[in-house]
Chains A and B, each alone.
Chain A
Amino acid sequence: GDSVTQMEGPVTLSEEAFLTINCTYTATGYPSLFWYVQYPGEGLQLLLKATKADDKGSNKGFEATYRKETTSFHLEKGSVQVSDSAVYFCALRGSGGSNYKLTFGKGTLLTVNP
């Protein structure tokens, strides 16, 4: 079945540091890929998405590129802020007309210190 593996946390960075959170997936066909973020005490929010190979999703300075050859969707940000402290989840939605569920990774806790 579909699965998502993402970098174990926690990750602790200083403000303005470069961020990479690795995510790889296993799925048949051409899944859609997502990054969700969960701020303390809040629900999951979509951060960015990519629906086909070589697409780049971007939002709030975060970027991720759908790499089918390496089955990866790594999250990057050039300069993190304290307000980026949260748990980040990589997820996929399988291809096929009746496949609507999301499969999530375990999440990566990011803490950004001033």
Chain B
Amino acid sequence: DTGVSQDPRHKITKRGQNVTFRCDPISEHNRLYWYRQTLGQGPEFLTYFQNEAQLEKSRLLSDRFSAERPKGSFSTLEIQRTEQGDSAMYLCASSSQGRDQETQYFGPGTRLLVL
């Protein structure tokens, strides 16, 4: 068990560019979550997958954001036409459907800076 991994760890981009982040959950976990954390705040929920199905999306997830989880394994979060307000830490978490289903395990995050 290597934990949840995210790539890249840091991303600097110019306003208007597109960026894509990847999350690899713990291998046996069928649930995957994306959160966004801005400076001085707690993480805020963005979206949730069970296997490959995206079951819930926050109103924070504007039309410029899209998330996928093909084949129910890794997930990608794409932000199109980035804005300075998108600068944040993007966190991925996963959980199982079994005994420990209450617990979400978080990755190290991808820190995005939009110039």
Which A residues lie at the B interface, using CB under 8 A? 4, 32, 34, 36, 42-46, 49, 51, 89, 91, 93, 98, 100-107
Closest 7 CB pairs between A and B?
A: A104-B42, A44-B106, A101-B45, A43-B108, A43-B106, A104-B43, A106-B42
From residue 20 to 36 of chain B, which have CB atoms closer than 8 A to chain A?
A: 31, 33, 35
Contact B41 A100 (CB under 8 A): no
In the complex, 28 of the A-B residue pairs with CB atoms within 8 angstroms, ordered by the A residue number, are A4-B42, A32-B102, A43-B106, A43-B107, A43-B108, A44-B43, A44-B93, A44-B106, A45-B106, A46-B103, A46-B104, A51-B102, A89-B42, A91-B42, A93-B102, A98-B55, A100-B48, A101-B56, A102-B35, A102-B43, A102-B93, A102-B104, A103-B45, A104-B43, A106-B40, A106-B42, A107-B40, A107-B41
Given A93-B102, A98-B55, A103-B45, A44:B33 Cβ within 8 A? no
Contact B33 A100 (CB under 8 A): yes
Nearest neighbor of A104 in chain B, beta-carbon distance: B42
Interface residue count on the B side (C-beta < 8 Å): 25
Of the candidates B40, B42, B44, the one having the most CB atoms from chain A within 10 angstroms of its own CB is B42
Cβ of B77 to closest chain A Cβ, rounded Å: 15
Contact of B56 (CB < 8 Å), options: A42, A100, A102: A100
Chain A at the B interface: SS class: strand
Q: Is B91 an interface residue (CB 8 A)?
A: yes
Nearest neighbor of A109 in chain B, beta-carbon distance: B40
Q: Which residues of B have CB within 8 Å of A49?
A: 102-103
Q: Is B65 an interface residue (CB 8 A)?
A: no
Q: Which residues of A have CB within 8 Å of B33?
A: 100-102
Question: How distant is the Cα of A80 from the Cα of B103 in the complex, in angstroms?
Answer: 25
Question: How distant is the Cα of A41 from the Cα of B92 in the complex, in angstroms?
Answer: 16
Question: How distant is the Cα of A58 from the Cα of B56 in the complex, in angstroms?
Answer: 31
Contact code string B80-93 (vs A, CB < 8 Å = 1, else 0): 00000000000101
